[in-house]
Structure 1
Amino acid sequence: MASSLKAPKKRESFSSRKVFIFAAIGSAVGLGNIWRFPYVAFDNGGGAFMIPYLVALLTAGLPFLFFDYAIGHRGRASSPLSFRRLNRKTEFIGWWHMGINAIIAIYYAAILAWSLRYMLFSFNHAWGDDPATFFMKDFLHAGETSLSFNFVPGVLIPVILVWVLLLVIMSLGVQKGIGAANVIFIPLLVVMFVVLVGYSLTLPGASDGLNALFTPQWSSLADPKVWVAAYGQIFFSLSIGFGIMITYSSYLKTKTDLTGSGAVVGFSNSGFELLAGIGVFSALGFMAQAAGTSVSEVATSGIGLAFIAFPTIISQAPAGALIGLLFFGSLLFAGFTSIISIVEVIVAGIQDKFDMARVPATLFVGVPLAVLSIVFMSTESGLYVLDILDNFVNQFGILAAGLVSIITVAYLVRGLPFLRDHLNRFGSVRTGGLWMVLLALVTPLVLGYSLISTFIGLLQEPYEGYPAQMLNIFGWGMVIMLLVIAVVVSFLPWSKTSRAALKPPAPPISRGKLLTDHVDPSRHRMKAHSESEVA
């Protein structure tokens, strides 16, 4: 009986909306902003890409961000429990989110470890005259594209350091740990990156890089792949669709402007991406001029940009050590604020499901993830495993989970009207029929097209030519495993304390109405009583 269950513990929360915004920006601004967006823009129309990018932000990015906020803030819980409170049959989506974040955390820590080492390498140019060979052979000891469990000491130690610092911050809690870390790291990140961009603009050839990035190729607007790339970039960079913003919004106070906060986060993230594009291509322009080649010949993204192209720039530029400190420091801070949010999704879910305190839940989650990260990422095959995990968990994890959650909530649960009302209680940016149309029609079409085209492409040609064994284990096998585990765990019983809180908390009093919890989203019903009636 419900009366025999313990009352749920008081939930942790951010001390203010400002702290939440810092944390949300910290999650959104990550490695993809710095090393992915500039090349995606350059490769998809240059200056013309800003049009589909802005359209994607307004028609999919912000609407989905509001969607995540509404689910998390309404549920006042982790992703699994928030979806459970929306409808019993949707709980598995939350566990799917947790699995996706677990995979990302495993390899994200390795990239942070590389950034830490390369920040130190910048002072003595340890990579010598051939940064590519140094990165692949001397640093990572990457051999054949096959599984190897030979540890690489130069990676092992910094990976351990990253996990130790991460678990210390997570153990301190939502406000003293997560909130405080973001309040410190985000301003430092912005200052470091602004200085980096300012210095990059003074380098010879910087204008060539900016011309290459921003010169519009208007014909690209007729290419559907350019629009898909814009929507994909928005999803990857905003931290939407895989539980992070659901979890963070659950720590907000009851009377919070969700949509206004979301707009600040969304435009801040895009502003940082634009800043990253200016800084990165200014430096690439210098690199091209020094090599006597075109910007298109040196432009790249991801790991190649960070650990091969930029070391070359650092070696050639005046005050190269400063560039190295600022660039790899920015990667480190941006990535660390992101991995905090990634692991918090998992910790929050474990706390809710099994009624665990913060420190035990952090260790229960963090220690196994750290071990897996060390075993797979600190070895000679770590780079290849990372590449496969990253590609498959982004395409068939984040995008797939986002598509399923939208279809489920919009068409099976029919909960969009209720979520709209929740957003509008205190939101400064009003949501209405257009918001629901964008979520229920535009977003599924874009995500579905992207998933189908990617799936067909991978069937025709194995990803990067990797061996079938590795693709089947860390690619397709991982994707299927996450979904199966999510469904299975959703059927496990909740702790007694958690069962007492399976129904969502009572909504706040707003505009003279007391909005009670008598809600049936599947029938679009919500009982509302005036304060006088309740009295």
Structure 2
Amino acid sequence: MSKDKNEWGSNLSFIFAMIGSAVGLGNIWRYPYVLYSNGGGAFYIPYIVAIFLMAIPFLILEYGVGYNFKSSFAKAVRKISPKWEFIGWFLPVSVFIIMIYYSAILGWDGIYVILSLFKGWGADPNAYFTTSLLQASDSYMGLTNFIPLIAVSMIVGWVIIWFISHRDLEKGLGRVSKILVPLLFIIMLIIVGFSLTLPGAYIGLSELFHPDWSLLYNFDIWMAAFGQIIFSLSLGMSIAFTYASYTRDDADLITNTISIAFANSLFENFSALGVFSILGYMSLQTSVPVADLVTQGTGLVFIAYPTVFNVLGNWAYILGPLFFFTVYLAGLTSILSTIEPLSFSIQNKFALSRKKTMSILIIVGAIISMIYATSFGSTILGYVDMFINQIAILFGVILECIVFAWIFKAEKLIDFLNSKSKTIKLGKWWLLIVKYILPTFVSIIWVGGMIDVLEGASVQQLIFTVIVCALLLGVTLLFTILPAKNLDWDDIKERT
């Protein structure tokens, strides 16, 4: 069995690592758009409800079960019920797939960190990103066109990830999280502070926060809020479970949950201030309404922002590198968390060291990720992202609720968690949420996601979705049926 020390050196390491996992690309490029397009200020009502009704209760459940077993996700699920071991591998493998395509976005951003020093995207950022850099193609024949610049940038990212991840937990991820997370917040504070001083910032902010109260009667706004919280805090991805299994015995998991949820919410709302202040400035300079400038995803990061920097003057040479470096740090902290669940599960079952497991996974991930360094790569990324986030992960959350809340029996955690909590105390209200309300809401979101994929997908997208699904299920099945090499695989002690 591996003798690696998979334990945080302090509670602070755990908190910073979890904040780093939560605070990622979704906070910067997804949340501002979701907030704006779902009623502006009115969105805060379902958003706050989602935090208290879903985020905090579910994170407490994941943390509680993770701390209880002090093992990998797959091993714990097997202990709860051997017939559910498949789910114990399904979620870590799904999250590893996210890591692979996140590495492509990290690679793109690494290129833009350099480009921002001299506005290397030129006068037409849209043309540069889609045509010059990605050489984007909607045809599968684009797989034959390899783009060396993207590949090299991605490999640099993989090397950084390996350098941090293959070390003992505290010496690698723990130490780096305590540096990167505060740095991430400081840089974002500088960016937002500067953005608020731009002429026209008020235009963007007034657009952002202008409440459309009528949308509160629309079920979609509530689903958008719950979906954002799931996406933003990585709920049900087995990351929180794995990180909690590394915690020390004196951890106050309930208080930690509240701190992490608050920090994540603070960061994404602060990011929204910066995004819309800059869009307001751009609207003033170009006379284009903010509504026509708002976008999400890669369009916001790699097209809208460079367009703004082009009209920002010399300040862009300061703000631009700061922004893209912030995105890089956010992507890095997120990616570092996505390898942990699968790595720890493999270490537990196959008696491999952390260093060897991480090295193998990163080599495999880097090789697979090269598909995104082709002209068809950005198209595949969109297909995979939609399948993993709208179908696979949500399905996993539902199953995780069943396994943890019902089969394991969440009520076993209440006395233990309350004994260490310095804030709120759990009771029947918590059981009601994790056993009934959460599975119901997430099931509704999952059905909606399935409908969106099936109704809006092209034949080509459906084919690739089936391929990714088959690969996910196949790899999950392989890990499940392979015989354990670790004699302790079925030997696990509960703490409650």
Q: Same fold (TM over 0.5)?
A: yes
1:233-278 CA-partner distances (Å, limit 9, x unpaired): 0000112201111111111012211111111001100010110110
Residue identity in the other structure for 1:351 = Q
User: Given that residues 97 and 242 in structure 1 are in contact (C-alpha distance below 8 angstroms), is that contact kept between their aligned partners in structure 2?
Assistant: yes
User: Given that residues 13 and 175 in structure 1 are in contact (C-alpha distance below 8 angstroms), is that contact kept between their aligned partners in structure 2?
Assistant: yes
User: Given that residues 48 and 218 in structure 1 are in contact (C-alpha distance below 8 angstroms), is that contact kept between their aligned partners in structure 2?
Assistant: yes
Listed as ranges, the matches of 1:285-324 within 5 Å are 285-318=280-313, 319-324=315-320
Q: Count residues with an aligned counterpart.
A: 493
Listed as ranges, the matches of 1:492-511 within 5 Å are 492-499=482-489, 502-505=490-493, 507=495
Listed as ranges, the matches of 1:6-25 within 5 Å are 9=3, 11-25=5-19
Query: Structure 1 328/418 Cα, relative in aligned 2: closer, same or farther at 3 Å?
Result: same
1:325-365 CA-partner distances (Å, limit 9, x unpaired): 11111110011011001012221111111011111111121
Deviation at 1:487, TM superposition (A): 4.1
Q: Aligned to 2:420, what secondary structure does the other structure show?
A: coil
- Matched with 1:125 is 119
Listed as ranges, the matches of 1:252-271 within 5 Å are 252-271=247-266
Q: Aligned to 2:451, what secondary structure does the other structure show?
A: helix
State the structure with more CA Rg.
Answer: 1
Deviation at 1:142, TM superposition (A): 1.2
- Matched with 1:329 is 325
Does residue 1:359 correspond to 2:355, yes or no?
A: yes
Deviation at 1:88, TM superposition (A): 2.1
User: Given that residues 348 and 486 in structure 2 are in contact (C-alpha distance below 8 angstroms), is that contact kept between their aligned partners in structure 1?
Assistant: no
Query: Structure 1 105/382 Cα, relative in aligned 2: closer, same or farther at 3 Å?
Result: same
Residue identity in the other structure for 1:144 = D
2:372, 2:488 → 1: CA distance? 35
- Matched with 1:408 is 403
Q: Which of 84, 89, 97 is matched with 1:90 structurally?
A: 84
User: Given that residues 193 and 330 in structure 1 are in contact (C-alpha distance below 8 angstroms), is that contact kept between their aligned partners in structure 2?
Assistant: yes
User: Given that residues 101 and 343 in structure 1 are in contact (C-alpha distance below 8 angstroms), is that contact kept between their aligned partners in structure 2?
Assistant: yes
Residue identity in the other structure for 1:140 = L
RMSD: 1.6
Residue identity in the other structure for 1:155 = I
Deviation at 1:498, TM superposition (A): 2.9
User: Given that residues 31 and 335 in structure 1 are in contact (C-alpha distance below 8 angstroms), is that contact kept between their aligned partners in structure 2?
Assistant: yes
Does residue 1:472 correspond to 2:466, yes or no?
A: no
- Matched with 1:379 is 374
Deviation at 1:220, TM superposition (A): 0.8
User: Given that residues 71 and 83 in structure 1 are in contact (C-alpha distance below 8 angstroms), is that contact kept between their aligned partners in structure 2?
Assistant: no
1:407-459 CA-partner distances (Å, limit 9, x unpaired): 23334x15111133442231233212111111122211211111112222332
2:412, 2:90 → 1: CA distance? 23
Q: Which of 151, 158, 164 is matched with 1:169 structurally?
A: 164
Of stretches 295-304 and 490-499 in structure 1, the one that deviates more from structure 2 is: 490-499
Deviation at 1:323, TM superposition (A): 1.7
Deviation at 1:488, TM superposition (A): 4.6
1:287, 1:469 → 2: CA distance? 37
1:222, 1:166 → 2: CA distance? 45
- Matched with 2:364 is 368
Does residue 1:490 correspond to 2:490, yes or no?
A: no
Of stretches 69-78 and 39-48 in structure 1, the one that deviates more from structure 2 is: 69-78
User: Given that residues 25 and 327 in structure 2 are in contact (C-alpha distance below 8 angstroms), is that contact kept between their aligned partners in structure 1?
Assistant: yes
Of stretches 38-47 and 290-299 in structure 1, the one that deviates more from structure 2 is: 290-299
Of stretches 82-91 and 363-372 in structure 1, the one that deviates more from structure 2 is: 82-91
1:250, 1:149 → 2: CA distance? 43
Q: Which of 204, 221, 225 is matched with 2:220 structurally?
A: 225
Q: Aligned to 2:164, what secondary structure does the other structure show?
A: helix
1:359, 1:461 → 2: CA distance? 42
Deviation at 1:389, TM superposition (A): 0.8
Q: Which of 146, 149, 160 is matched with 1:151 structurally?
A: 146
Structure 2: state its 5+ residue gaps.
none
Does residue 1:350 correspond to 2:346, yes or no?
A: yes
1:216, 1:424 → 2: CA distance? 38
Listed as ranges, the matches of 1:410-425 within 5 Å are 410-411=405-406, 413-425=407-419
Q: Which of 69, 73, 96 is matched with 2:67 structurally?
A: 73
1:44-66 CA-partner distances (Å, limit 9, x unpaired): 00001011000000000111111
- Matched with 1:249 is 244
User: Given that residues 35 and 306 in structure 1 are in contact (C-alpha distance below 8 angstroms), is that contact kept between their aligned partners in structure 2?
Assistant: yes
User: Given that residues 65 and 404 in structure 2 are in contact (C-alpha distance below 8 angstroms), is that contact kept between their aligned partners in structure 1?
Assistant: no
Residue identity in the other structure for 2:325 = G
Of stretches 444-453 and 34-43 in structure 1, the one that deviates more from structure 2 is: 444-453
2:262, 2:420 → 1: CA distance? 20
Q: Which of 196, 209, 212 is matched with 2:207 structurally?
A: 212
Of stretches 102-111 and 144-153 in structure 1, the one that deviates more from structure 2 is: 144-153
- Matched with 2:388 is 393
Q: Which of 42, 45, 48 is matched with 2:39 structurally?
A: 45
- Matched with 2:334 is 338
Deviation at 1:320, TM superposition (A): 0.7
Of stretches 223-232 and 85-94 in structure 1, the one that deviates more from structure 2 is: 85-94
1:152, 1:488 → 2: CA distance? 32
Query: Structure 1 431/10 Cα, relative in aligned 2: closer, same or farther at 3 Å?
Result: farther
Q: Aligned to 1:21, what secondary structure does the other structure show?
A: helix
Q: Which of 104, 108, 113 is matched with 2:102 structurally?
A: 108
1:289, 1:40 → 2: CA distance? 23
1:151, 1:10 → 2: CA distance? 39
User: Given that residues 146 and 381 in structure 1 are in contact (C-alpha distance below 8 angstroms), is that contact kept between their aligned partners in structure 2?
Assistant: yes
Deviation at 1:118, TM superposition (A): 0.6
- Matched with 2:275 is 280
Residue identity in the other structure for 1:176 = K
Deviation at 1:504, TM superposition (A): 3.1
1:145-195 CA-partner distances (Å, limit 9, x unpaired): 324132112201110100011111111121000001111111111111000
Deviation at 1:481, TM superposition (A): 3.5
Q: Aligned to 1:494, what secondary structure does the other structure show?
A: coil
1:262, 1:253 → 2: CA distance? 15
Q: Which of 10, 13, 25 is matched with 1:31 structurally?
A: 25
Query: Structure 1 224/18 Cα, relative in aligned 2: closer, same or farther at 3 Å?
Result: same
Structure 1: state its 5+ residue gaps.
1-5, 508-514, 516-535
Does residue 1:457 correspond to 2:452, yes or no?
A: yes
Deviation at 1:11, TM superposition (A): 4.4
Deviation at 1:119, TM superposition (A): 1.3
Q: Which of 172, 176, 180 is matched with 1:181 structurally?
A: 176
Deviation at 1:282, TM superposition (A): 0.5
